[in-house]
Amino acid sequence: MIRYPMASLPPSESRAVRRRHHSPPKLLLAIIAIATTIYPSSNNSHYLASAQNLAGKFASRPKIVETSSSNKKRNQKKSDQNGEYTTQWGSFMNSLEGWGSFLFYENGMSWLGSFSWSVVPDSSHDAVRSSGKRKKRWRKENGHVVADSSWKRDLFAAEFYMIVLSIIISAAIAVLSWIWYVGTNLKSQSAKTMQEGEEGAEDIVCENLEQTHSGFFESVAVGFEDITMTLKQKKKKGDGNGNNERLILDGSIRGVAQPGRMLAIMGPSGSGKSTLLHAISGQLKQDKKISLYGKRYVNGVPLTGDSKIPSAFIEQEVNFFPHMTVKETLDFRVELKMGACLKTKKERDDLVNDLMNQLGLTKSANTIVGNAKVRGLSGGERKRLSIACEMISSPPVIFLDEPTSGLDSYQATQVIETLRKLADKGKTVVAVIHQPSQHTFQLFDDLLLISEGKLMYYGERSKVREYMEGLGYGCEAEVGTAEHILDCVSRVVGADAEAERESVNRIETIARAADQHAREWVSFDLDYKDSKNIERKMKHIVDLTATHPGTNLLRQFKLLFGRSIQETLRGKAAIIIKIVQQVSLGLIYGGIYSLGDNQASIMDRFGLLSLIVIGATNMAMAGTIRSFPKEKSIVSVEVASSLYRTFPYFISKALSELPLIGIFNAIFSSLIYPLARLQKGRFKAFLGLTSLHSIASEAVGLLIGSISPSSDVALALFPPIIVLNIIFDGKNISEENTPALLRWVNKVGLIRWGFTGLAVNEFQGLAFNTSGPRRGPVVKTGEEALARFGLEGKSIDDVIGAQTKIIAGCWFLSFLGLALTRQKYEVMQNPPN
């Protein structure tokens, strides 16, 4: 429905406004009109039509005339009856769509253009589809457009500003899209050029993977020095001397993690261990408050800031899909990561079996991973599974952040013994360890001890006790070394001021000694003549391996779709709960409502349909909002490690939800339909509409989940969104009285469209008798009843169109939300001299 308010202006003013309105964009529009006309594409006529329409909109604006007040009233009434008045918003969206589509098309981003087509409101589409139609409507009024005196001339100015705004927004989006598009292309092109005679992306990844296991990468020593990390703080938290930077790592830290050896990073809580590990491995999450400096070396070759070390990084907390078994989890990852290189199933199975053997997981191969709610692997097994997942491509270096946290001493020892075996095979292992047992501690070769961001010791683990004794900090034989050295470098905080002062002095003494010894302990022989070339080659190899999945998009989709379906079907508790919900709701509604054909049944029908829609929206949206952020935390890690791309994940996720939605709705509909005695012969449409509505509600839930940084934020957004949808469901506030800024909600109102669909389906073709209580005049037909709610002229097609646009829009935005929130990491700068 097009709604278009026209200003009522005296002829002189109207001419002036028309001049103002026409002049500025005319030349531009003429150019666009010509450009779009000669643009050689028949497939994209929609975009051309949009731009041409926009041009035509200005070129053919009809004459505006003042009418007498009685005429105005009559015409306004007629216009209201026909629903023919239009809104500023429709006009704005018309312009935006025209420009947006045109610009996106120009930039080869036709998919973005399609999106603009799918999310803008109906009115703008109608307007775009035929400006001629609009002209006809105006001509109906004796060749004149009837002006409404309530609209002032500044409307035209406002419209013009909106168009300018739309141009700016569209142009900005188009430029950003272009930069993104070109950037991505350049990136993949530059990666490809390093390979000669390449046959396909998958082969390149395989070749690179092979290179990371041989020659230069066969055994890797990771060196680091002068690591400094500062954190900007709010002024209030500064040191009082105007310095609001907190030193987390002070630049004294240096060391080398050697191949075939295990390096433990230890220190009191909050001393900067995790920060150091993340900084060395290049995994420190980007944060505006952070400044990171230092130097890193791979086999003595200095790395530039953003170079990656060919390594695995195992975070403290690793989440998995809880219903997959150990073997399935590894199968899935091996196929994604190595599918192109290990072509046969047997080769992949061998790798999975080998990994399970190495990590001591063979016995648990068929146990589900589990989580806090679903019982599955033990903490230690889960930790070993996360190591196995990272070892699939067999990187030469393994970084681990507190691999023993949350484990009992037996499990902790098992994990460290597993790492020991990997080190014995030549891997370089670096792990942050918190309070290890004596046995676990002894499995490490080297130790890097820090306190308050300062180096306390770097060297062989076995010599640290002797070293501390040399500095005058010995201890009794029965005290374990790990415990003793942590005591030596911990500040005493509490009531005893003397003990605190003493501990501060002790830390200062140990730090000074460590600084003195540091250069003796570690030196970096930079005698690589060709170090620049080596580094460049390494950067290419590692970057390509780290940024390219090992399988093509189709295979990624297949595997992800399979996992999604499997995970949903195995969540039996969730399925049973949902079935119980649907059955009980169907029985409750069906038990209460028994619709007849008297006057009271009209309101009852509207009430029931409204309840069905609100209930379905709540259930579908809340379920997705609750579950998706958890899944997102797993998926974003998998995408960041280039296991697969966001696009196939998203498509598989969206599609895998559909079958269950259909089944749940079928259960509900087949109960409520006969019980509530809804109109015969309309069941199929009822089922289709409720299913479509549930899909749309899930799509909105997906959007909220994907743009929210946490599940708490997502849950907090749920009530206001539901309330907005209920307010704008078409019955609670009239479109005319809706604040201008919120009118768009009417067009995308989930509940409004859901209700409209069910109401049209139910009421069309019904006849009512005149008996029974009623409020207002007698209503004899379903069509009259629909008119009471302003739903005359609405069709099921309108509803399907609107819901489809909502689904497409939400899916697209959710995809963007996921794709654009990819984790970025701090780049290590060279230390300032």
Ligand X SMILES: Nc1ncnc2c1ncn2[C@@H]1O[C@H](COP(=O)(O)OP(=O)(O)OP(=O)(O)O)[C@@H](O)[C@H]1O
Nearer to ligand X, 272 or 701 (CB): 272
Q: How far is the CB of 537 from ligand X (least distance, A)?
A: 32
Q: How far is the CB of 482 from ligand X (least distance, A)?
A: 14
Q: How far is the CB of 402 from ligand X (least distance, A)?
A: 7
Nearer to ligand X, 305 or 474 (CB): 305
Q: How far is the CB of 450 from ligand X (least distance, A)?
A: 8
Pairing of strands 397-401, 311-314: parallel
Structure tokens at 556: 């990624």
Contacts of 805 (CB under 8 A, 6+ apart): 118, 119, 120
Q: Residue 263 phi/psi, 5° resolution?
A: -105, 125
CB–CB of 475/213 below 8 Å? no
Nearer to ligand X, 254 or 805 (CB): 254
Nearer to ligand X, 278 or 327 (CB): 278
Nearer to ligand X, 290 or 745 (CB): 290
Nearer to ligand X, 142 or 269 (CB): 269
Q: Enumerate binding residues for ligand X (CB under 6 A).
A: 231, 248, 267, 269-275, 287, 290, 434
Nearer to ligand X, 386 or 694 (CB): 386
Nearer to ligand X, 422 or 433 (CB): 433
Count of CB atoms situated within 10 Å of the CB of 475: 16
DSSP symbols for 343-401: -SHHHHHHHHHHHHHHTT-GGGTTSB---SSS--S-HHHHHHHHHHHHTTT--SEEEEE
CA–CA distance, 601 with 608 (Å, rounded to integer): 10
Nearer to ligand X, 108 or 270 (CB): 270
Q: Is the dihedral of CA 657, 662, 667, 668 positive or negative?
A: positive
Nearer to ligand X, 268 or 730 (CB): 268
Contacts of 600 (CB under 8 A, 6+ apart): 772, 773, 774
CB–CB of 263/427 below 8 Å? no
Nearer to ligand X, 63 or 822 (CB): 822
Q: Which residue has the tokens 């370089």?
A: 428
Q: Label residues 64-83 b or e (16+ Cβ within 10 Å = b).
A: bbbbeeeebeebbeebeeee
Q: Residue 571 phi/psi, 5° resolution?
A: -75, 65
Nearer to ligand X, 271 or 691 (CB): 271
Q: How far is the CB of 222 from ligand X (least distance, A)?
A: 18
Q: How far from 640 is each of 285, 384, 553, CA to CA, in Å?
A: 12, 20, 16
Helix (H) / strand (E) element for 290: namely strand 290-298
Structure tokens at 371: 């989580």
Q: Residue 646 phi/psi, 5° resolution?
A: -65, -35
Q: How far is the CB of 457 from ligand X (least distance, A)?
A: 15
DSSP symbols for 695-735: HHHHHHHHHHHHHSSSHHHHHHHHHHHHHHHHHTSSSSS-T
Pairing of strands 64-65, 145-146: parallel
DSSP symbols for 304-338: PTTPPPSEEEE-SS----TTSBHHHHHHHHHHHHH
CA–CA distance, 342 with 187 (Å, rounded to integer): 26
Structure tokens at 460: 């062989």
Count of CB atoms situated within 10 Å of the CB of 822: 10
Structure tokens at 22: 């026409």
Nearer to ligand X, 489 or 722 (CB): 489
State whether residue 265 is helix, strand or coil. Answer: strand
Q: How far is the CB of 318 from ligand X (least distance, A)?
A: 16
DSSP state of 248: E
What are the contacts of 68-75 at 24+ separation with CB within 8 A? 69/149, 71/146, 72/8, 72/146, 72/147, 72/148, 72/149, 75/141, 75/146
CB–CB of 377/367 below 8 Å? yes
CA–CA distance, 278 with 99 (Å, rounded to integer): 45
Nearer to ligand X, 148 or 402 (CB): 402
DSSP state of 7: B
Q: How far is the CB of 234 from ligand X (least distance, A)?
A: 11
Nearer to ligand X, 233 or 581 (CB): 233
253 bridge partner residues: 227
Q: Which residue has the tokens 């230890």?
A: 266
825 bridge partner residues: 285
Nearer to ligand X, 432 or 818 (CB): 432
Q: How far is the CB of 405 from ligand X (least distance, A)?
A: 8
Structure tokens at 428: 């370089």
Q: How far is the CB of 289 from ligand X (least distance, A)?
A: 6
Taking every pair of Cα atoms in the chain, the longest distance, rounded to a whole number of angstroms, is 107
CA–CA distance, 793 with 322 (Å, rounded to integer): 49
Q: How far is the CB of 277 from ligand X (least distance, A)?
A: 8
Structure tokens at 233: 């703080």
State whether residue 299 is helix, strand or coil. Answer: coil
Q: How far is the CB of 326 from ligand X (least distance, A)?
A: 28
Q: How far is the CB of 517 from ligand X (least distance, A)?
A: 22
Nearer to ligand X, 278 or 578 (CB): 278
DSSP state of 763: H
